[in-house]
Amino acid sequence: MDRTERLYKINELLHAHKVVSFATLLAKVEASRSTLKRDLNYLCDRLHNPIAHSRDLGGYQLAAPDPANKHPHELPGLWFSPTEIHALLTMQQLVAGLDAGGVLTAHITPLMERLNALLGPEGNAEATQLRQRVHIIRLAQRSVRPRHFEQVATALAQRKRLHIAYTARGNGHTTERDISPQRLVHYRDNWYLDAWCHQRQGLRNFALDAITKLEPLNQPTREVSAAQLSTTFGPGYGIFSGGAVRWARLRFSPERARWVAQEQWHPEQSGKFESDGSYLLRLPYTDHRELIMDILKHGTHCEVLGPPSLRRVVGDELKRMVVKYF
């Protein structure tokens, strides 16, 4: 019997009987004395179950609920207040809104059904209204096969390698390679995997929806430190990485400044207002592809001041756009 089963069994016995002796608990959970003591302490101290030992009665019992207790609602082995339950149900709505493929929602649905039952009809109606007032708008979200997501997440947790077939969007070519998963990234409504590529002998970023075939391997992953991950993927702008770090300097019109000044384009950005109300934004990047898309969406309201290479590539893109329209 594993620990979860023991905790549920102890909880069941305490609810079924007024008093349960230590010997009875020991026989039912099939554990050592020290293990049972640790389980009882865990239920009391960490999971807030009101378990008390009565020397006069010769066993353990559930104490009377305290009206001032912040954890009046019960799950088997868990206690939640109504506010905490409402927060969890609202989080479910957020997850469902972000998770178009249903790869996460399916795993938390049983818990949410249990929370709904705990609230009762009146509380459940209130929670339903609250969830309806949380609306997630998804833009440019690409669907991921649930099976692929689960296999990637499993390999990530078990620290195992994967063999994948990956289609690069830039050229449409498909390659097969072994990778060591390092971390999952949810970025702009899409899922990516940071991994060590054994074919390229370096860190690479893979869009999960571009993985066309996936096979779990029994080989352990090559571990990469958090510092190396941060060094490789951290300095760049957006999802692209690699190359020397350069610093973009952008000027936004007074009209757009009111929005851009409140946005985070990069954790290391800096900005300031000018006397005319325009806004100067400075941020690092290593690959201009994603950055120029965000620059161009502001049209004439954004001017690239530097570096010259970024100003040139944006100017060249604008010239090509003019040719298409005039």
Cα–Cα distance, 150 to 208 (Å, whole number): 11
Written out in words, the top-level CATH class of the domain with range 146-226 is mainly beta
Place of tokens 């009209």: 255
Cβ atoms < 10 Å from Cβ of 115: 22
pTM: 0.59
- Domain spans in the chain, listed from the N-terminal domain onward: 3-62, 81-132, 146-226, 246-325
Written out in words, the top-level CATH class of the domain with range 3-62 is mainly alpha
Structure-block tokens of residue 242: 């690699």
pLDDT at 16: 86
Tens of pLDDT, residue by residue, the chain (326 residues):
777 778 888 888 888 888 999 999 999 888 899 998 988 888 887 777 788 888 888 899 888 766 555 554 454 545 556 666 667 666 666 666 655 455 566 666 666 676 666 555 655 666 666 666 666 666 666 766 767 888 898 899 899 999 999 998 778 899 999 999 999 888 877 888 999 999 999 999 998 889 999 999 999 999 999 888 888 887 776 666 667 889 999 999 999 999 999 999 988 899 999 999 999 999 999 889 889 999 999 999 999 999 999 999 999 999 999 999 98
Strand locations in the chain, DSSP E?
Answer: 51-54, 59-62, 73-75, 78-80, 160-167, 174-187, 190-197, 202-207, 211-220, 246-252, 270-273, 279-285, 302-306
Cα–Cα distance, 309 to 132 (Å, whole number): 48
Cα–Cα distance, 163 to 151 (Å, whole number): 11
* Element housing 124 (H / E): helix 105-132
pLDDT at 29: 87
pLDDT at 39: 87
pLDDT at 306: 95
Which of 255, 308, 263 is closest to 281 using CA atoms? 263
